[in-house]
Amino acid sequence: MRKEGNEFLIGDVPVKTLAAKYGTPLYVYDEQKIRANYRKAKSAFEKYYPDFRFFYAVKACNNPAIASILKQEGAGIDAASVNEILLAKKIGLGGKDVMFSGNFLSDDDIKQGLESGVIFNLDDISLLPRVLKFGEPEIMSFRVNPGYGRSNVGEFVTNAGPNAKFGLHPDQTMEAYRLAKAAGIKRFGAHMMPGSCITDPEYFSFITKLLMDIIGKVGRELKIDFEFIDLGGGLGIPYKPEEDGLDIEAAARLVAETFKSKVSEFGLKPPRLMMEPARFFVGNAAWIIGKVHSIKNSYKKIVGTDVGMNTLARPAMYGSYHHIYVNGKEDDKRETLGLCGQLCENTDFWVKERELPSTIAEGDLIIIENAGAYGYAMSYQYNGRLRPAEALVNGKDHYLIRGRENFEDMVRHTAVPGHLAI
């Protein structure tokens, strides 16, 4: 996004034009920014370890148009559910281009996962006999919880360590692979996902060492040639203007150094190195355009907008910060204001105090930054405030990539039994 005079543009399209054409609240993605983010990360990792591939964690932003951009760039898909496997299929990816990392799977999930022929990543040793009851994955991995996790999102998003629900305990890992091998499975990988939104490059080499110390022993003792090692996602972005971003070049170099040294220490055949980030590709490549509907002066001065916690859940869910701009007024004098959406919940008062232009007025457009990851994907219907639309900008071109929900969407799949319809 850039500012020309007092007006903001996404790509080459003024936010005013987008709001007028598609309405508000509106998620807007910048195709060129997504491609640039992806290429920057890919070239850094390939430089230090050429046999490298990203799988895009589609949970962060599941619009098929966005996933298609990453597919065109060469990414596979990391799917958390059968529906995400189907989404991958819809954009032309299946088989070994898809990694299925669900947790606490049902029998139906397992059957459909097996039928789809994707890489099966098991979250627990107890899943193995349940999977084998229905068939044998051609290639599989276990998700290892290496006993350590870190998160810049909040403690609830720490995906590994003793308090996480994910992955195998390191002590179970040898046994898990031994059982899988004894069952006749021949092709293996290994996986972990310990952190979220990390901007410290050293963290990535630290977790690589943790996993490789567990997996290296398994490979050596069970004579398994791992085809891939997946280090998960977690490549971070800054959310506050004063925060530094991740030095991706340093992260890639440190990871590759540790990885290569552990591969040689344990005498492994060099596996493909994989990661499955999402936030780094799409997080800073989308904005929400919202509108100010009213301004209230009561105990506090509060700006009421059409962007509620149902539109962007992260602030109410995790206390996350998202920077806000006011179109046309950024250079005006500032005052401390609150800002909220339209829901009947006080957690919808998602900005308690922020320095915003004091001239903000009804009808103004606000622009919320870093909305591409875990934004629309976590939006929901509440109070009859329905999910917004999504648009994609590519230079001066723009496209609607998901329509706004309407009343029919709200009542879809509901039924009123006959005795209640009188």
Ligand X SMILES: Cc1ncc(COP(=O)(O)O)c(C=O)c1O
Span near ligand X by CB under 6 A; candidates 129-137, 278-286, 292-300, 405-413: 278-286
CA dihedral for 257, 261, 264, 266, sign (positive or negative)? negative
Span near ligand X by CB under 6 A; candidates 167-175, 192-200, 250-258, 405-413: 192-200
Q: Does 101 bind ligand X (CB under 6 A)?
A: yes
Catalytic residue check, 344: yes
Q: Does 167 bind ligand X (CB under 6 A)?
A: no
Q: Among residues 19, 128, 235, 292, which is the contact residue for ligand X, using CB under 6 A?
A: 235
Cα separation, 370 vs 45, whole angstroms? 24
3-state secondary structure 326-337: ECCCCCCCEEEE
Which residue among the candidates 61, 197, 340, 344 is catalytic per the annotation? Answer: 344
Shortest reach from residue 268's CB to ligand X, in Å? 23
Shortest reach from residue 378's CB to ligand X, in Å? 11
Query: What's the gap between Cα 54 and its chain centre?
Result: 13
103 to 142: interface string for ligand X, x by CB under 6 A: ----------------------------------------
| Closest C-alpha among 47, 37, 46 to residue 237 | 37
Span near ligand X by CB under 6 A; candidates 90-98, 169-177, 270-278, 325-333: 270-278
CA dihedral for 214, 220, 224, 229, sign (positive or negative)? positive
Q: Among residues 11, 233, 328, 372, which is the contact residue for ligand X, using CB under 6 A?
A: 233
Closest CB to ligand X among 325 and 374? 374
Q: How many residues in the shown chain lie near ligand X by CB under 6 A?
A: 17
Q: Does 232 bind ligand X (CB under 6 A)?
A: yes
Interface positions, 313-352, toward ligand X (CB under 6 A): none
Q: Does 30 bind ligand X (CB under 6 A)?
A: no
Asked if the peptide bond before residue 25 counts as cis, ω within 30 degrees of 0, the response is: yes
Query: What's the gap between Cα 106 and its chain centre?
Result: 23
* Cβ proximity of 293 and 362 under 8 Å: yes
Q: Does 255 bind ligand X (CB under 6 A)?
A: no
Shortest reach from residue 68's CB to ligand X, in Å? 18
Please give the angle made by the CA atoms of 409, 306 and 390, to the nearest 5 degrees. 55
* Cβ proximity of 222 and 181 under 8 Å: yes
CA distance to 108, 163, 218, 323, per residue, from 391 (Å): 34, 38, 47, 20
And the tokens for 20?
A: 């007028």
Question: Tokens 């509108």 belong to which residue?
Answer: 291
Q: Which residues bind ligand X (CB under 6 A)?
A: 57, 60, 78, 101, 193, 196-197, 232-235, 276-280, 373
- Residues annotated catalytic, as ranges: 344
